[in-house]
Amino acid sequence: MPRLNTDFIQMIKYVIKRLALSVLILLGVSLIIYALIRIQPGLDFVEKKYQAQLQQDSTGQVAELVKQIQATYGLDTNIFAGYLKWLSNILQGNFGDSFQLSVPTGEVTYIEIIGPDGNPILTPKYETTSNVVSIIFAKSGVSFIIALIATVLEFIIAIPLGIVSATKQYGVVDYTVTVLAMMGISLPSFFLGALLLKVFSVELGWFPYSGLTDPNSGLPVIIDQAWHLVLPILVLTMLSVGGLMRYTRTNMLEVMNSDYIRTARAKGLSEHSVIYKHAFRNTLIPLATLFAGILPSLFGGAMITEQVFSIDGIGKAAYTAVVNGDVPFVMAYCMFLSILTVIGTLLSDIMYAIVDPRVKLS
Amino acid sequence: MKFIDKIKEKFFKKDEHSLSVRDERLIARNNRRAMKEFEKKKNRKNVPEEEYLSQMKDENNIVEFEGLKTYFFTDVGTVKAVDGVTFSIPKKSIVGVVGESGCGKSITSLSLMRLVQAPQGQIVDGSIRFAAKDGKVYDIAKMPVSEVYKIRGKEIAMIFQEPMTSLNPVFTIGQQLDEVYELHFNDKDKKKAKEHSLEMLNLVGMAMPENVYKCYPHELSGGMRQRVMIAMALACDPRLVIADEPTTALDVTIQAQILELLKNLKERIDGSIMLITHDLGVIAEMADYVVVMYAGRVIEQGTAEEIFLNPLHPYTVGLQKSKPVVNKKVDKLYNIPGNVPNPVNLPDYCYFRERCDKCVKKCAGKYPETVWVSPTHCVACYRYAERH
Ligand SMILES: Nc1ncnc2c1ncn2[C@@H]1O[C@H](COP(=O)(O)OP(=O)(O)OP(=O)(O)O)[C@@H](O)[C@H]1O
Ligand code: SF4
Ligand SMILES: [Mg+2]
């Protein structure tokens, strides 16, 4: 705990310094990501879109058109010039429009159309936007809910099991935990996802296949949605729990073998206080590093899992954007993740200082 | 260090110690079986008291070790860290335990506290009789773990070798001291606990107890931490304090202060100290009785005078020769040639034979019996066998 006022001031100074440094980091990261998307092999977004016409084109007119469209998308410049253009747009607060995605803004305008009887009818038109920031905001909600529940479950399951498996080393729990953890770590998410779909949706029919809602289910909307989220959350939890369990176990074992635990035992403390008072606080120290990764994983979506379960979250959006070479969206998405990572690292440093009195931020 | 030894054993001295895959499997299987059996015995509940109640051989002793064997079941075989140790600690005395690194001093003391690293480390045989405050005599080696809490920390306290790592880094000194008070006086009153802790810090000569009370261990120097450890031992109000190389990690001036403190501690608790060290100077200054260990066994013991004025075992003689003496010019410090034998495959003859320069014919035979040369002085060496 920062005990003194001076500690607190130190901490503020440290945070400011770190934030200033992160601006530099973000610049570097954005350049690298931009370059990586642009050198992606294959056709770019416009070429892909007009691929069929290009092949039938004998006059060169379509090629001409493609060039023009490429210019409007900023795909005709070299990588560095393109990057500078992107950067200057960003600095002006203009994050750009996605080439392919759009989300409803929620606004409705009414336009008049002439009906079959010759009278004008007011028809609602739902406005959409392709602004990348709006897309990210609109799509990360569902991803966040899935990730939040999965992360909470992960911690609730993994940390106690990791501790038990360390304190009862070579016991039944320990072996079970080790085997399950290995399975969780080595199974790819698409495989586990497909497996669960096959068993629980196709064969048993307990859970829906895909998407978020089913108008025919006859359930209240919220329950219907929760029902749809069970399998994706299960996949995410099963995959992440193993690693955290092993990590907790390793840390706990190290702590349990340390001299101060022997001292605590020599004092005559019960095994329960030794583990849950003296050892537990010390196992938390390395767990603080995990905070760095939690933030991006909470908001960043799960590309593959969302794809498998056809959930319209930010992970799926990012996946299609990458596949289609949607430069503005991929850039915005990656920057979003980078900022979350930078903040996450900072938070984990602060956590460190809170749980470990030996660490001073400076 | 131990890890490196293991690696060396595995890779460099292949001819001597290499194990075939079959041997390794056999060892692993036997280890598992042995560990399971001992753990089960340790964790029994509702054991009738008669099973671990005992009688002292001599009413004047507070602890009597008899034939104590503590083994480690490791992947390379069974390490006989303590292999039949017999000695006693008289009431209100300081007993020094000396010997080279790795001879089993710490494991002997940890066996007394029942803190040997489980499940590999197990007390396999022997007894440790302890005369408790309630007038009963407990055989600590046979007590189930749930009963050991009666004694551990309450009647026997321990001060460890490494003051740097022996205090919990995430709790303040105050928190760690208060805990002892709360536990042993069964009193949750925070104010009283603090008062008691401050008194203890004062007793060990802390200049500003109030400040130290609020400090974290990393904010103190090594000597101060060792004082805190002593304060912690003192706070338990024990009858026996085990000090495992309490001064090894400290510089010389601090060493003297800490030793002085230990002497005061003994006066205050009116009890005994088991002082483990490999520094004969410390022993000479502090101890009433001396126990010399070698490769997991006691090879000589006696009063401090007997051991210093009339050392019998060639190893004890060598130890004394290798100790630097003030005011005496020597070209080179004496050094006992050779190394401690590998504790996995100990031979059945005097363990010191390969390094001994005073061998007699009989030394080729079995491990020598212990010979009593005076009521307090005994030695395990053939050179004294025929005379008594
Ligand atoms: N956890 C363990 N696993 C296997 N062997 C061990 C373990 N702990 C100790 N030993 C062995 O037990 C033997 C005695 O160790 P011990 O710590 O008692 O030595 P010591 O006399 O205290 O030495 P030092 O002066 O270095 O403290 C050593 O040979 C060591 O290899
Ligand atoms: S028994 Fe023999 S070999 Fe062993 S110490 Fe005595 S004289 Fe030396
Ligand atoms: Mg030791």
Which amino acid is it at A120? P
pLDDT score for B324: 63
CB contact under 8 A, B169 and A263: no
Touching check for B171 and chain A: CB below 8 Å?
Answer: yes
Q: At B382, is the secondary structure helix, strand, or coil?
A: helix
CB contact under 8 A, A260 and B216: no
Angle between the N-to-C axes of helices A172-186 and A132-167, in degrees from 0 to 180, rounded to the nearest 10: 150
Specify burial of residue B167 (Cβ count, 10 A radius: 0-12, 13-18, 19+): buried
Which alpha helices (DSSP H) does chain B contain, by range? 2-11, 14-17, 21-42, 105-113, 145-148, 173-184, 190-203, 209-214, 222-235, 252-269, 280-286, 304-309, 314-321
For the entire predicted model, the pTM comes to: 0.80
pLDDT digits (tens, 9 = 90+) for B58-85: 889 999 999 999 999 888 888 889 999 9
CA–centroid distance, residue B108 to ligand 2 (Å): 23
ipTM score here?
Answer: 0.85
**At residue A259, what are phi and psi to the nearest 5 degrees?**
-60, -40
Query: Which residues, listed in sequence order, are joined to residue A121 by a DSSP beta bridge?
Result: A113
Give A154's contacts (C-beta < 8 A, 6+ positions apart): A236, A237, A240, A241, A244
Asked if pLDDT for residue B206 goes beyond 70, the answer is: yes
Lowest mean pLDDT among A226-240, A285-299, B16-30, B317-331: B317-331
For ligand 2, say whether the CB of B381 is within 6 Å of any of its atoms: yes
Give the Cα separation of B268 and B197 in Å (integer).
16
Distance from CA of B382 to the nearest CA of A (A): 39
Buried b / exposed e along A168-189 (16+ C-beta atoms within 10 A):
eeeeeebeebeeebeebeebeb
**Percent of chain A whose pLDDT exceeds 90:** 8
Residue A2 banded pLDDT, cuts 50, 70, 90: very low
Asked if pLDDT for residue A294 goes beyond 50, the answer is: yes
Give the Cα separation of A302 and B123 in Å (integer).
53
Task: Name which residue sits closest to atom 24 of ligand 1, judged by CA.
Answer: B101
Asked if pLDDT for residue B172 goes beyond 50, the answer is: yes
Asked if pLDDT for residue A1 goes beyond 50, the answer is: no
Place of tokens 């038990």: A164
Residue A331 banded pLDDT, cuts 50, 70, 90: confident
Place of tokens 């569902």: A142
Most confident range, picked from B102-111, B245-254, B335-344: B102-111
CB contact under 8 A, B160 and A263: yes
CB contact under 8 A, A267 and B179: yes
Please choose, from the candidates B249, B385, B255, B366, the residue with its C-alpha nearest in 3D space to the C-alpha of residue B312. Answer: B385
Asked if pLDDT for residue B127 goes beyond 80, the answer is: yes
Residue B223 banded pLDDT, cuts 50, 70, 90: confident
Closest in A259, A267, A268 to B162, CB measured:
A259
Query: Which residues, listed in sequence order, are joined to residue A123 by a DSSP beta bridge?
Result: A111
For ligand 2, say whether the CB of B368 is within 6 Å of any of its atoms: yes
Q: List chain B residues with CB under 8 Å of A169.
A: 119
**8 A C-beta contact, residue B157 and residue A266:** yes
pLDDT digits (tens, 9 = 90+) for A76-117: 778 888 888 888 888 887 777 777 777 777 777 777 777 777
Task: Please report the atom of ligand 1 found closest to the CA of residue B105.
Answer: 21
Task: Name which residue sits closest to atom 3 of ligand 1, judged by CA.
Answer: B72
Q: Does residue A208 have a cis peptide bond before it, meaning omega lies within 30 degrees of 0?
A: no
pLDDT score for B387: 57
**8 A C-beta contact, residue B165 and residue A263:** no
**8 A C-beta contact, residue B367 and residue B350:** yes
Asked if pLDDT for residue B331 goes beyond 60, the answer is: no
Query: Which residues, listed in sequence order, are joined to residue B290 by a DSSP beta bridge?
Result: B96, B302
Task: Name which residue sits closest to atom 16 of ligand 1, judged by CA.
Answer: B104
CB atoms within 10 A of CB B36: 12
Q: At A120, is the secondary structure helix, strand, or coil?
A: strand
pLDDT score for B85: 93
Task: Please report the atom of ligand 2 found closest to the CA of residue B315.
Answer: 5
Residue A136 banded pLDDT, cuts 50, 70, 90: confident
Residue B339 banded pLDDT, cuts 50, 70, 90: low
pLDDT digits (tens, 9 = 90+) for A23-39: 898 999 989 988 888 88
For ligand 2, say whether the CB of B359 is within 6 Å of any of its atoms: yes
For ligand 1, say whether the CB of B378 is within 6 Å of any of its atoms: no
Asked if pLDDT for residue A195 goes beyond 70, the answer is: yes
- Provide the mean pLDDT of chain B: 85
pLDDT score for B3: 67
Distance from CA of B168 to the nearest CA of A (A): 5
